[in-house]
Amino acid sequence: MHWWRDAVFYEVYMPSFTDSDGDGVGDLHGVRSRLGYLELLGVDALWLSPIYPSPMVDHGYDVTDHRAVDPTWGDLDALEALVADAHAHGIRVTVDLVPNHTSDHHPWFRAALGSPPGSPERARYHFRPGRADGTRPPNDWLSVFGGPAWTREPPPTPCQGEANREGAERGSDEGRDQEWYLHLFSPAQPDLNWTNLEVWADLERTLRFWLDRGVDGFRIDAAHGMCKQLDSAGGSAYDDPRFDSDDVHDVHRMIRAALDHYPDRVAIGAVGVRTGTRFARYVRPDELHLAVDTRLSAVRFDADELRATIEDTLAAVDAVGAAATWALSDHDVTRPASRYGGGVTGLARARAMALVQLALPGAVYLYNGDELGLPDVELPDDARRDAVWKHAEHGRDGCRVPQPWETDLPAFGFTTGTPWLPVPDSYAALSAAAQLEDTGSTLSLYRRALELRRLHPGFTGSGLEWFGAPSGCLAFRRMGTTLVCALNTSTEPVPLPPGDPLLVSGPLDDGLLPPDTAVWLA
Ligand code: GLC
């Protein structure tokens, strides 16, 4: 069996994990210094958020060079040292890949702005003339971050104007000088044009560049993006021409073919689509190895909704012979401890959901800090840094607050400098050091769960079988084994399914499974 089919991936959100040089932002040497912790935790592989040169408008998801390392994180040597050390600890390293867009500071985009409409430089992106004499965007598409998905390019500088005039003489229309460009995310992240073969060739080079440096694979950002049905009008909730176009699967076939030249590497898509069937198309045998199912992180703490989502995903991936990949969170969503209600209840539910996630067949993604049960942090407006998020309520900073390592050190051992987001005092008691010593801590629960997942024969069963369960509860068995997982989302304690408890997410109540609690039995 391939290592990745049931692997535990651990997301390292680079800015917030560990800072080794005192600038207040995490870095590669910082990650390297925590490999002992990660081995103790029991993860199989890391996913590093983007490490490439970037103006950091979106903390690295705005890339100016896909084949280099930003000095904020270190350099290529630091990456290679991390990979070598991680391998020595039995941990693989995957890196984030951002093929949907570049930074607006990328040399390609600078060249595009300096070139006339219709030029090959512009053809790497999506430039269009505006409607209504150029004053309105080419269509009504919205950006994922809020606001229009089109920005009008700045007026040409005098020397660019010259280039544009030359373009006009070559046949382009002078009235089109100030075109609009497409960005499904922020205006600082112009979308690449995936009908352009240069864009394909460049990604192939990027893949080989990192594979040759020993990385074990890629997490592919917005893997349902890239190809757009730009000429399609509007789009209903179930037919969004911005995403999940049939053509995108050819890109994934190219990625897979490139990886197949290297043994044991993995490509994992971050795929946000609405149905299991659409989702499973990304993990057909000649496409991505895995795709992260973020739908579980959008489901409420409700047994029926959870079961429906799990069943839908499993049926869809089974149909194409792929493994599922489960995630409860990442650096874009409210952390489980807050999302499930906050406080004591939220934490109890987050712990219970961890046992459900870790008992499901397939691979899993953990997000750094969830193993500590960290809640989101309410940050004052002047401390917020997620400038690209335009939706009303708040940005995504609350789940990105730096990881607390020690109880007594400034910034709880994350940095010797000033952390890029303030770490609240309440994080002291949740630090890794404090939790390592406490057998009842969330960290101890995760460590034990990952250990059982690795060693107990119950986790080898490939599918799952549902048990009848009291209302508000779910229970399943891993096929062909005696391992049972039960979860109580109701308000009353319920009897345990048969078997001896292996691990519980919280104390049992006189032999009963209390609300907000999950148990593994065998
Ligand atoms: C993905 C990333 C998110 C980023 C966006 C644009 O959704 O997870 O953090 O802002 O892509 O690259």
Per residue in 275-287, pLDDT (tens digit) is: 899 999 999 999 9
Kindly give the number of the ligand 1 atom that is closest to the alpha carbon of 101.
Answer: 12
Query: What is the atom index within ligand 1 of the atom nearest the CA of 185?
Result: 6
Ligand 1: centre distance to CA 512 (Å)? 42
Residue 310, classified by CB atoms within 10 Å of its CB into exposed (0-12), middle (13-18) or buried (19+), is: buried
One-character DSSP codes across 319-369: HTTPPPEEES--TTS--HHHHTTSHHHHHHHHHHHHHHHHHSSSEEEEETT
Closest Cα to residue 278, out of 239, 244, 325, 249?
244
Max Cα-Cα span within the chain: 85
Pocket of ligand 1 (CB under 6 A): 58, 61, 98, 185, 221-222, 331-332
User: Could you tell which of 11, 54, 58 is best to mutate to test the pocket of ligand 1, judged by most ligand atoms within 8 Å of the CB?
Assistant: 58
- The alpha carbon of 465 and the centre of ligand 1 are apart by a number of angstroms equal to 35
The predicted structure's pLDDT at residue 277: 92
Q: How does pLDDT run along the chain (522 residues), one tens digit per residue?
A: 899 999 999 999 999 999 999 999 999 999 999 999 999 999 999 999 999 999 999 999 999 999 999 999 999 999 999 999 999 999 999 999 999 999 999 999 999 999 999 999 999 999 999 999 999 999 999 999 999 999 999 987 766 655 555 544 544 444 447 999 999 999 999 999 999 999 999 999 999 999 999 999 999 999 999 999 987 755 444 578 999 999 999 999 999 999 999 999 999 999 999 889 999 999 999 999 999 988 899 999 999 999 999 999 999 999 999 999 999 999 999 999 999 999 999 999 999 999 999 999 999 999 999 999 999 999 999 999 998 887 756 789 999 999 999 999 999 999 999 999 999 999 999 999 999 999 999 999 999 999 999 999 999 988 999 999 999 999 999 999 999 999 999 999 999 999 999 999 999 999 999 999 999 999
CA–CA separation, 147 and 378 (whole Å)? 24
Per-residue pLDDT at 125 = 98
| Token pair in block for residue 219 | 């997490």
User: What pLDDT, on a 0 to 100 scale, did the predictor assign at position 173?
Assistant: 44
For the CA of 62, the nearest atom of ligand 1: 12
What does pTM read for this prediction? 0.95
Mean of per-residue pLDDT scores for the chain: 94
Q: 462 φ, ψ to 5°?
A: -85, -45
Buried b (16+ CB within 10 A) or exposed e, 315-328: ebbbeeebbbbbbb
The answer to whether 99 and 204 are in contact (CB under 8 A) is: no
* Best residue among 185, 192, 331 to mutate for probing ligand 1, ranked by most atoms within 8 Å of CB: 185
